[in-house]
Every structure is written in structure tokens, then in C-alpha cells.
Chains A and B, each alone.
Chain A
Amino acid sequence: MDILTQQLINGLVLGSIYALVALGYTMVYGILELINFAHGEVTMIGAMVALTVIGLLLGMAPELPGLMVVFSGLLVAIPACMALAFAIEKVAYRPLRRAPRLAPLITAIGVSIILQNVAMLVWGRQYVAFPAILPQGQYEVFGAHITDLQLVIVALSLTTMAGLWLLVERTRLGRAMRATAQSKEVAALMGVNVDRVISATFVIGAAIAAIAGVMVSAYYGLAHYHMGFLLGLKAFAAAVLGGIGNIAGAMLGGLLLGIIEALGAGYIGDLTGGFLGSHYQDVFAFFVLILVLVFRPSGLLGERVANRA
């Protein structure tokens, strides 16, 4: 029982990270029907920038409290990622807005490769270690271990998701985003500045990605120029699982994918008597994805197309 509890906690933490990154994919897809493959790399840049700031701060004033240092890193990483996403959209996607859909998709992959290589040149090939400055509190609940960091990750994810939901559903910008998602032309006729709304979508997604990037590197204790690739792929799968273009779907898909992965990897070996092992972890997650796509091509929550943003 304590093992099951622990696996659910593992999955929940992993899933809330996936969900945050998945939001960025789904928001952009909702508006542009573009799969922004560079989004995983924006997450990576967020982690790298934050780590650089953290390293500088620790170098100058080692006595600062750890939480404050990490928070300062995050405060620099968020605007950095927002500026980056703004530039990417303007340079790489906007000129192709009326091009066939395949063109911006390929550009997205190109941007992703460029960002990876730039990061490799700037931060090197080394794994950058996240300094152990965060409080290391641990609790035992029903025999399972929970750390302060895990609680913060889940809490921060849920807060961010709630904030985004409020933004989309309750603000003028949110209404403009939903309108643009339904029809760019009609929204423009109604006085919505479509270009600005699309920019805002990218920038908001990037801010969330920066938060996710810092959380990932703090959680695993490392950052690497390559870290955004697999994270982006998993988050993309989560977005599709939940129904791409649907914000609630991205959250649900992320959390589900995390839990499926944890339970799958944890139990597949025992359930099949060692015939299948935990190396099927990723297969398991993607198998579920395929099942969903076969029986519900729009994803779990994908039918509310009109409401997407």
C-alpha cells in the first residue's frame, strides 16, 4: 500500500511538470494549429538562465537564503523566456502564417535545433548541477516519502494552471484569445488585434515554460542543453492525450501521463512476471496515447473545440 501511495505521488509530481509544459503546446495549437516544437527548448533555456543567475548570486553573496536565490533566478528566467518566445514567433512563425501548415511545423523543428545548439555553445556540453540550497524537508505520509520540493512543485503547478484558466476565461485578453482561436478573420473584424493576441499566447506559454524549467532542474538537480527535447516530446504527448488545443485537457493529460508512467514502470515487471520490464516505461505511456487516439481521436477532452484557447 505504501508503495502504491509512493508511486501515485511520484506520478503526480512528474505529471504536474508535464502538464505545465503541455499548456504551452496546447495554447499555441489552439490558436494557430501549429505544433510549436521549440517549446521544450524554451523550457530548457528557462532552466539554464535561472541556473546562471543562481550561480552568480551564490558567487557574490553565499549567505543569501536559498529560496530567495532560486526565486531571483526564476524572476530573471521568466522575462528571458518571454522575450525569446516573442522573438521566435516574430522571426520564425509570423512570416509563415499564411503558408501551408507543414512549413511552420518544419520551421519549429529548425528553431528547436538552433536553440539546442546555441545553448550548447553558451552553457557547454556539461550537465549543470542545481546547487543544493533549497530546504530539504521530508515527510512521511502512509509510509510514502514526500519532500518540501515536491509539495512546492505540485502547489505551484496547480496555482499556475488556475491562474491561466482565470486569464483565459475571465479577462479581456482571454476573451480575445478564445475569439482568435475560433476565427482569426472574424476576431480581427471585431477589433481584436490578432497579431498581439498571438504574441501574447506565445509569451504566456513561455513564462509557464520558464517556471516548469526551473522546477525540473531543481527536482532532478541538473540542467542540460538537451533536457528540453524529451520533456517537450512527453509534454506534447500529454497535450494530445488530453485533447490538443484544450487547456483543461493539457492539465488532465499531463497528470494522467505522469501517473500512467509511474504506475506502468513500477508494476509492469511484477505483473508480467519479469517478461516485460520497466524499460517499457515510455512504451506504456505512448501505448495509452495510441489507444486514446484510436478510440477518441480528439483526445480525452478534445470535443469542446469551440471553447479552446
Chain B
Amino acid sequence: MKSTLFASSALMLALLVAGCGDKKSADVDVIRIGSVAPLTGPQAHLGKDNENGARLAVEEINAGGLVLNGRKVRLELIGEDDHAEPKTATIVAQKLVDQGVKAVIGHLNSGTTIPASKIYHDAGIPQISPSATAIAYTAQGYKTAYRVMTNDEQQGKVLGEYATGPLGARRIAVIDDRTAYGQGLADEFEKAARAAGAEIVAREFTNDRATDFAAILTNIKGKSPDLVFFGGMDPQGGPMAKQMKRLGVNARLLGGDGLQNANFIKLAGADAEGVIASSPGLPIDSMPGGAAFREDFEAKYGVIQVYAPYAYDAVYVLVSAMIRANSAEPAKVLAELPNTDHNGVTGPIRFDHKGDTLGGAVTLYQVKDGAWQVLETVKR
């Protein structure tokens, strides 16, 4: 008993001393910001990319020394893993809210961003998604929901017009991965393609865990389309391009930003040649700060997958609103976010009344000689 008493008083003493030590750094306020993306599972490479983009911005801002309301502030990024699952997304969102984060950068997928946005809205915390593109996200009327990327309506329309215009497709097969992103993009594409007079000869579906598309591609082959559109991500798109070639489907593969990344080419190998995909915004090397960003990012984390520049910009958009509000209080930051006018790595960022980006562009790329080459940039 005595020894326990001794131990506990020693512990108390140690805590006191430690407490005194902390005093020195106590004039720095720590502001927690959440970053949510799938860090495990098939899209883990994309999720880590988002988190790294946000982390790079946070480290730069901390190194530069942020001062709000006369007090030194240090940002702390809390990275969470939502497994790209809507169910996990809400659990993780609640966890962040309970931890007292002042804002959230995320999530990566539309399917996770949308259910989580209700939790952030109820808690009154600003949410800026770097990569969720589904229309539904900002159509809910939440004053907390923002994104720094072109939405599916804008991108799908450009893709639909490009397929029927310059590519001259008349018989089109559409596949989507049944996620909020893939389905939304495919629906908008289909709408635009139909409006331009193309015939949708097949509408097939897969999921974001699948690798075998032989069955649906064989069915599509029987309808002899001249173009196949896929709304989904590279882990599916890569094998799909391979299997199209293997099954002798003589149609061009077209996709959205989920395919337009380095990993797609790696997975599809030689069969990636000729595939066309779009990406919101300018090509990274045409971005105002693209080259510098690439250099900084690659020095720390390796190759950029897709959305890292957007996550990076999202942090800067958030912090610039904090600086204008001279506070990190969510309510004050939310009042300032609509006034955003930030010249980011991905281009100028301004928001409309829903929280979508204004202006901007969609760029179309094609794989030539094993690399994505810019075809053209469509300004909206």
C-alpha cells in the first residue's frame, strides 16, 4: 500500500513537472483539422495521396507561422480512414466532431462525403472536399459543404460533348461502378451524349472492388458500340482496358478523373494506349503553381496520384478564411468561406452560393506512348 502511495505521488510530481514544461509552448494554440480518405482497401493509394496533399499544406503553414487574433497557432492534421465506405465515413466523421476539429478536408469519394456532410453540418463545422464530385453533395443546402473540384454535371457534360463531337461516337455503352461518383458521372455523361443524338446501346454496372469485367464486356461487345464510357476509378479501369482488348471489343474507352492517373497506365500496361479521360481543372504542369507543387510533393511523398493538389488547395482555402475571420471558430470561418478568392495550385478558386467552384476548366487527356498527354482544355 505504501509503495502504491509513493508511486502515485511520484507520478503526480512527474505530471506537475511535465505540466510546467508545457507552459513554454502553451502560448501556441493548436487547431485540429480532420482529413478523411480511404487509407486502406482498393483506393488506399488515392486516399494517402489526398492526406499527403493536405499534410504538405499544413506543414508549410506551420513553418510559416500562422497568427490568429494575436496568438500563435499551430495546425494539427488528424488523418482518418473511411475505407471508402459510407457507413464507416459517418462513424469517422462523428469521431472527428467529438475530437473537436475546427474543419474537415475530405472525404475523397462522393459516396462517403455525402453521408458525412450531414454530421459536419449538424455540428456546424466547415467541410471542404478535395475530390467529391457528385452533384448531390452541394445540392443538400448545407452551408458547411464546399468542394474545390468541378462537379460531375460540369465534367459529365464536357465528356458527353467530347464523345459525340470530336470523337464522333454514335453507339455508346456506359458502365459505372455504382458509387455516388461513378453513377453520377455516368448519368451526366449519358444525358449529354443522348442530347447530342448518340444512342446508348448498353448500360452495365460493376462495383468498386471488382476486377473481372469479362461478362459485362462480352455483353457490350454483342451490341457493337464505338465507344465505352466508364464512370469509376483506376483499380477497375486498368483491368477493364486489358479485358476489352482481350475480348476484342473494338471501341474506345473513355473515362473521368478516376482513370486519369499514373496508376491506370501501370495497371492497363500497353492496353492503356489510346484511352481518353478527363480531369477537372488544368493539367498539373499548366497549373499556376503546378511545377513547384510537384517538386515539393515528390520530394516528400513520391509520385502524385490525382487529387493531392486539390487537398493542398483545400487547406489553403480554409486557412485563408480563418485569416480573414481572424479566428478558427467554425461559425466565423463559415461566414468567410463564401468570400473565398484564392489563387491555388489548381487555379483560382471561388465558390457559388451552393459551395461549388465557379469557372474553372475540364481537361481531356489521352494515353500516348505510355503517358497521359493533354488533348485539349475545355473552359466552361
Contact = CB atoms under 8 A, between A and B. Distances in A.
B31 interface: no
A132 B221 CA distance: 24
B81 to A, nearest CB: 11
B50 to A, nearest CB: 12
B161 to A, nearest CB: 25
Given A145-B247, A282-B207, 12 more contacts: A120-B40, A125-B39, A125-B48, A138-B248, A220-B239, A221-B267, A222-B235, A262-B215, A270-B219, A274-B203, A277-B204, A278-B219
B72 interface: no
B270 interface: yes
Given A125-B40, A127-B267, A222-B267, A261 B45 contact: no
B41 interface: yes
Interface string B173-215: 0000010000000000000000000000011111101011011
A145 B246 contact: yes
B218 A279 contact: no
27 contacts: A3-B219, A6-B218, A6-B221, A7-B214, A7-B218, A10-B212, A10-B218, A125-B45, A127-B42, A129-B269, A221-B242, A221-B269, A222-B211, A222-B239, A226-B41, A227-B211, A261-B212, A261-B215, A262-B214, A269-B203, A269-B204, A277-B203, A277-B204, A279-B178, A279-B206, A279-B207, A281-B216
A14 interface: yes
Interface string B262-289: 0100111110000000000000000000
A12 B137 CA distance: 42
B268 A278 contact: no
A152 to B, nearest CB: 14
A39 interface: no
B318 to A, nearest CB: 26
A184 interface: no
Given A3-B221, A132-B270, A120 B44 contact: yes
Interface of B: 39-42, 44-45, 47-48, 178, 202-207, 209, 211-212, 214-216, 218-219, 221-222, 234-235, 238-239, 242, 246-248, 263, 266-270
Contacts of A265: 215-216, 219
Nearest to B215: A265
Contacts, number: 112
Given A221-B242, A221-B267, A266-B216, A278 B247 contact: no
B267 A278 contact: no
A291 interface: no
A183 B209 CA distance: 40
B80 to A, nearest CB: 15
Nearest to A150: B246
Contacts of A145: 246-248
Nearest to A227: B211
B46 to A, nearest CB: 9
Given A221-B238, A279-B178, A10 B214 contact: yes
A190 B234 CA distance: 56
B266 A278 contact: no
Nearest to B218: A6
B211 A220 contact: yes
Q: Is the interface of B mostly helix, strand, loop or mixed?
A: helix
A267 interface: yes
Nearest to B303: A126
A224 interface: yes
Contact of A138 (B202, B209, B218, B246): B246
B45 A127 contact: yes
A147 interface: yes
Nearest to A117: B40
Nearest to A149: B246
Contacts of B203: 269, 274, 277
A266 B218 contact: yes
Interface string A245-278: 0000000000000000111111101100010011
A127 B238 contact: yes
A14 B214 contact: yes
Contacts of A277: 203-205
A104 B67 CA distance: 56
A147 B209 CA distance: 24
Interface string A1-30: 001001100110110000000000000000
Contact of A127 (B221, B266, B269): B266
A143 to B, nearest CB: 9
B248 A127 contact: no
Contacts of A270: 219
Contacts of B204: 269, 277-278
B214 to A, nearest CB: 4
A129 B266 contact: yes
A31 B248 CA distance: 45
Interface string A116-139: 000010001111010110000010
A264 B203 CA distance: 15
Most chain A beta-carbon contacts within 10 A, residue among B212, B248, B266: B212
A49 B260 CA distance: 29
